[in-house]
Amino acid sequence: MSAGDAAIQSVMALIEARYGLNPRLQHDRLSAFFADRSALQRQNLADHLHTAPETDSVWQALIEAMLVHETFFFRHNDQLAVVARDILPVLRQRALGKPLQLWCAGCSTGEEAYTLAFLLRDTGCTGKILASDLSPESVAEAVAGLYRRKPGLNSFRALPEAAWRYFEAVAGDGWRVMPEVRAMVSFQVHNLMRTLQPPLAADLISCRNTMIYFSDDSRRHVEASLVAAAKPGTVLLLGPAERLRYTDVFVPMTDAHPQILHWPLPGGA
């Protein structure tokens, strides 16, 4: 192993420690990030990263380079249909008129958070959505709420026809989420390895296709963060290949949809 590779390995471990990203998935992107540098430069960069704080510009650039922003509106619509049909009405009833609090953990460029907002409006629920992501750039994009219908796998690939009413056209084939929907969602830069600040007691947490990027050990912290933001009765949505390894607070609500979990209320309600 050359000095440069050792530098990449050490940065990988550092990223895993700080942000929990699975080294197995980091490798290609990190190699690309280091690609144009000589072994000495790599070592220097690694040394810099080891001492620099997270707010450092190199760190920020590295984080942006490491994250995979794969998301689109109405992703895993089967699950969302169950949420709209069976879960939101129950949560609304339980909230006794108070607005629901939702948390979209790992919101990337915001499509999923806005999708939750659409669902709330579709089902006539009032509620607030907190959406968080590690990437400031993605969060900025999400706040803007402006999406382009570019060819290929764009954000609208699974959008139902009826949901177009939540968008307004802007010049250049761009579509912006309606202001009243954007007002329902607040965005925050947040590292899932730490608990949310200020603390939250969400009625529903959506953390889908986020934990797949975390290494096994760091998932312990992620799951702790999720539990910290939950209370008895909280519903948790996971991605298709994800499952909780370290906590048994959440259990699947039904066998038919094991990716929809909840914290059972005392008394088995």
Dihedral of CA 188/194/195/198: which sign? Answer: negative
E strand segments, 134-268 = 146-148, 167-170, 174-177, 185-189, 204-207, 235-238, 251-252, 260-262
- Minimum gap (Å) between residue 126 Cβ and other proteins: 32
CA gap 246, 216 in Å, rounded: 10
Q: Is 242 in the site for other proteins (CB under 8 A)?
A: yes
User: Considering beta carbons, is residue 36 or 96 the nearer one to other proteins?
Assistant: 36
Contact window for other proteins (CB under 8 A) among 17-25, 170-178, 186-194, 257-265: 17-25
The number of beta carbons lying within 10 Å of the beta carbon of residue 134 is: 23
Q: Is 32 in the site for other proteins (CB under 8 A)?
A: yes
- Minimum gap (Å) between residue 28 Cβ and other proteins: 6
Tell me which of 70, 168, 173, 180 binds other proteins, using CB under 8 A. 70
- Minimum gap (Å) between residue 212 Cβ and other proteins: 4
Cα torsion for 187, 193, 199, 205, to the nearest 10°? 70
Contact 177, 114 (CB under 8 A): yes
Q: Is 241 in the site for other proteins (CB under 8 A)?
A: yes
Closest CA to 214 of 73, 68, 51, 6: 68
User: Considering beta carbons, is residue 48 or 150 the nearer one to other proteins?
Assistant: 150
- Minimum gap (Å) between residue 89 Cβ and other proteins: 30
CA gap 89, 81 in Å, rounded: 12
What single-letter DSSP state applies at residue 203? S
User: Considering beta carbons, is residue 29 or 121 the nearer one to other proteins?
Assistant: 29
User: Considering beta carbons, is residue 63 or 125 the nearer one to other proteins?
Assistant: 63
- Minimum gap (Å) between residue 235 Cβ and other proteins: 21
Tell me which of 7, 22, 141, 203 binds other proteins, using CB under 8 A. 22
User: Considering beta carbons, is residue 213 or 250 the nearer one to other proteins?
Assistant: 213
Q: Which of residues 141-200 bind other proteins (CB under 8 A)?
A: 150-154
- Both tokens of 214, joined, read 């975390």
Q: What Cα–Cα distance (Å) separates residue 77 from each residue in 9, 89, 114, 236, 240? A: 38, 17, 14, 15, 12
Contact 128, 102 (CB under 8 A): yes
User: What is the per-residue binding string for other proteins in 206-235, x denoting contact by CB under 8 A?
Assistant: ---x--xx----------------------
Residue numbers at the binding site for other proteins (CB under 8 A): 22, 24-25, 28, 32, 68-70, 150-154, 209, 212-213, 239-243
